[in-house]
Amino acid sequence: MTANDLDWWRDAVVYQVYIRSFADGNGDGVGDIAGLRGKLDHLARLGVDAIWINPWYPSPLADGGYDVADYRSINPTFGDTAQAEALLTETHERGMKVLLDIVPNHHSDAHAWFRAALAAAPGSPERDRYVFRPGRGPDGAEPPNNWESMFGGPAWERVPDGEWYLHLFDVTQPDVNWDNAEVRDDVETTLRFWFDRGVDGFRIDVANAMIKQDGLPDIVEGVNDEQDGNHPYLDRDEVHEIYRSWRRIGDSYDPPKVFVAEAWVPDPERLARYLRPDELQTAFSFNFLRAAWLAPDLKDNITEAIAENDAVGAPATWVLSNHDVARHVSRLARKPETGRGYWLDDLLDLPADFTLGLRRARAATLLMLALPGTAYLYQGEELGLPEAEDIPADQLDDPTWELSGHTKRGRDGCRVPLPWSGDAPPYGFSIDASPGVGGPWLPQPPEFAACTAEKLEADPESILHLYRDALMIRKAHPALGGGELTWKDSPEGTLAFTREPGFTALVNVSSTPVSLPEDAEILLASGPLTRYGSVPADTTLWLRNA
């Protein structure tokens, strides 16, 4: 094994598989391991280095599987342990790694420990694995503090004997108590369990929320608005000790296992603390995802992320979409300034131009893949999928819909089953779907007909071919992947940077064409040049320097 193999994660392109919606191997309308195994060649041909699979553990699926009932087993809806092991082997055989998702902040209320906690008395060891507290007010009828669930409403639920338990997410997702040694040990056992089966690493769910301040003080507006180390439950400094311990576990394997943190910590300096040499290897730079489609905003966020990560010796980790945000085709279809609104609910009443959204999405991808560091692709972005914006209310599944009192539609629009082939639902998503046996678990919009992998395969100008070409060049070109970036002067509203040896990226984020640099040879373009040979708005070029 060469040093380069050991450091694969420094410049990897990782493909996120939202398993419930990727491909359905048994025709029940829900994606599964069999479906994924059947599509591994699609991923290998795309040219990705690894896949990250969203939670596939037994779960009531109240929050899409982030409500885990048993961390060391497979949800029968998705398959079984033997299929999981076969998938690992087959993915590795194709030269791709496999990352799983660990959810350490909370369990499902269906977890055996939570059942035991409910059956046990206040003050018992069973309750100490969670965050149970008496209520406030004369009869304890008020929640213990003013914290709110991320999905809406209070973060506390009362149980029949009068105690309350904390749930920063859905009411079915009780937070666990990270001061409890059993809780810590159990997660480490889970990490080893999957590492021993050949899993290459983990994405860490809400990696900045596990530690709660002693005494669980109220959030004070104006004081706790930032994640600066003083927030009662976000990005507290004590969380880092957990990752030092996990890193030791990961490093005890040969080759070492890797982690990527999902931590929505806006300050890049604080985010980089998760990436100190004895902590995690990577963390998503979500400020890039949130950036407006405007040159200064993009440039500032890229520069800051690289600088702060460089300071701790870690690569930046770029991402444009995932299962929690509106698909970027649809975000970019709105005004450029709306980059900062990333949920469908932020966008719904804004006028949209989806042709423009797709054009910008192609340009954004070539920008991302030219940056130094690692990049994550979300399933379906290689098909240019838009967000499904009008799923009927009675089919919405995201707990956000209920907990917001039917004011927020939530994240289902980016979780719709993928269109693989054909002209009508389920567009090849379900293998052997017999008519009348129910359809995909979320309805697929008619726009998906134009986005099937089969159709895009047949069109050399399609976004699918653009992704493949970009990944092929990225792999072969010595300047791409890890390394440095140097910004160059460029016309207002554009970005230009070089990577050595001999590579320039030019991104026209302005609304007018700009001229092509002299002596430049085009390696790849996100769209055609104007008929006068200049670079149109919302277009990225990869150039070979003279």
Q: List the catalytic residue out of 32, 49, 109, 205.
A: 205
Q: List the catalytic residue out of 262, 279, 381, 397.
A: 262
Burial class (CB in 10 A: 0-12, 13-18, 19+), 506: buried
Number of residues that bind ligand GLC (CB under 6 A): 10
Stretch near ligand GLC under the rule CB under 6 A, chosen from 63-71, 116-124, 221-229, 428-436? 63-71
Q: Looking at 66, 147, 497, 542, which residue binds ligand GLC (CB under 6 A)?
A: 66
Would you say 270 and 279 are in contact if contact means Cβ atoms under 8 Å apart?
no
The binding track of 73-112 with respect to ligand GLC, each residue x by CB under 6 A or -, is ------------------------------x---------
The binding track of 123-162 with respect to ligand GLC, each residue x by CB under 6 A or -, is ----------------------------------------
Q: In the window 227-286, what residues touch ligand GLC (CB under 6 A)?
A: 262
Assigned token pair, 168: 């920063």
Minimal distance in Å, beta carbon 502 to ligand GLC? 39
Assigned token pair, 354: 């989806």
Question: Which residues, including other chains, have CB under 8 Å from residue 479's CB and lie 6 or more apart?
Answer: 499, 500, 501, 502, 503
Cβ distance to ligand GLC smaller for residue 71 or 293: 71
Assigned token pair, 383: 């098909």
Cβ distance to ligand GLC smaller for residue 63 or 279: 63
Assigned token pair, 347: 């966008």
Q: How many CB atoms lie within 10 A of CB 438?
A: 13
Cβ distance to ligand GLC smaller for residue 29 or 64: 64
Q: How many CB atoms lie within 10 A of CB 545?
A: 15
Determine phi and psi for 147, rounding to 5 degrees. Answer: -65, 145
d(CA 3, CA 21): 36
Q: Does residue 344 bind ligand GLC (CB under 6 A)?
A: no
Q: Does residue 63 bind ligand GLC (CB under 6 A)?
A: yes
Would you say 500 and 479 are in contact if contact means Cβ atoms under 8 Å apart?
yes
Listed in sequence order, the DSSP H helices in 14-80 are 33-38, 40-46
Helix (H), strand (E) at residue 118 = helix 112-119
Q: Does residue 24 bind ligand GLC (CB under 6 A)?
A: no
Q: How many CB atoms lie within 10 A of CB 218?
A: 13
Stretch near ligand GLC under the rule CB under 6 A, chosen from 62-70, 80-88, 345-353, 502-510? 62-70
Minimal distance in Å, beta carbon 104 to ligand GLC? 10
Q: Does residue 209 bind ligand GLC (CB under 6 A)?
A: no
Q: Does residue 324 bind ligand GLC (CB under 6 A)?
A: yes
Cβ distance to ligand GLC smaller for residue 103 or 332: 103
Would you give the DSSP letter of residue 514? B
Would you give the DSSP letter of residue 436? T
The CA-based angle 534-538-540, given to 5 degrees, is 70
Assigned token pair, 186: 């159990």
Based on the residue annotation, tell me whether 221 is a catalytic residue of this protein. no
State which residue has the least CB distance to ligand GLC. Answer: 66
Q: Does residue 381 bind ligand GLC (CB under 6 A)?
A: no
Cβ distance to ligand GLC smaller for residue 52 or 246: 52
Assigned token pair, 218: 């109220």
Determine phi and psi for 507, rounding to 5 degrees. Answer: -120, 115
Based on the residue annotation, tell me whether 90 is a catalytic residue of this protein. no
Cβ distance to ligand GLC smaller for residue 178 or 503: 178
Minimal distance in Å, beta carbon 276 to ligand GLC? 23
Would you say 337 and 291 are in contact if contact means Cβ atoms under 8 Å apart?
no
Cβ distance to ligand GLC smaller for residue 16 or 526: 16
Assigned token pair, 144: 């213990």
Cβ distance to ligand GLC smaller for residue 78 or 293: 78
Reduced 3-state DSSP string for 197-237: CCCCEEEECCCCCCCCCCCCCCCCCCCCCCCCCCCCCCCCC
Stretch near ligand GLC under the rule CB under 6 A, chosen from 58-66, 138-146, 225-233, 431-439? 58-66
Would you say 266 and 228 are in contact if contact means Cβ atoms under 8 Å apart?
no
Minimal distance in Å, beta carbon 484 to ligand GLC? 31
Q: Does residue 206 bind ligand GLC (CB under 6 A)?
A: yes
Q: Looking at 22, 132, 165, 169, which residue binds ligand GLC (CB under 6 A)?
A: 169
* Active site positions, annotated: 205, 262
Please report, as ranges, the residues that interact with ligand GLC according to CB under 6 A: 63-64, 66, 103, 169, 205-206, 262, 323-324
